[in-house]
Structure 1
Amino acid sequence: MIVTYELTHEDQDRFEEITGTHAAASDSCPGCLRFRVGKDIQHAGHHQLIEQQENREGLDQHAAPEAFRRTVQALSTCDIRGMQPDRYEVV
Structure 2
Amino acid sequence: MQNCYIPKSKEELIELIQEAVQESLVSVQKENTTNKYQDEIFSKKQAASYLKISLPTLSLRTNEGLIKASRIGSRVLYYKSDLDKALNNSKK
- Report the TM range for the smaller structure's normalisation: under 0.3
**Which structure shows the bigger proportion of residues in helix conformation?**
2
Greater RCO structure (CA 8 Å; 6+ sep): 1
Query: What is the TM-score with the length of structure 2 in the denominator?
Result: 0.25
**Which structure shows the bigger proportion of residues in strand conformation?**
1
> Which protein has the larger Cα radius of gyration, Structure 1 or Structure 2?
2
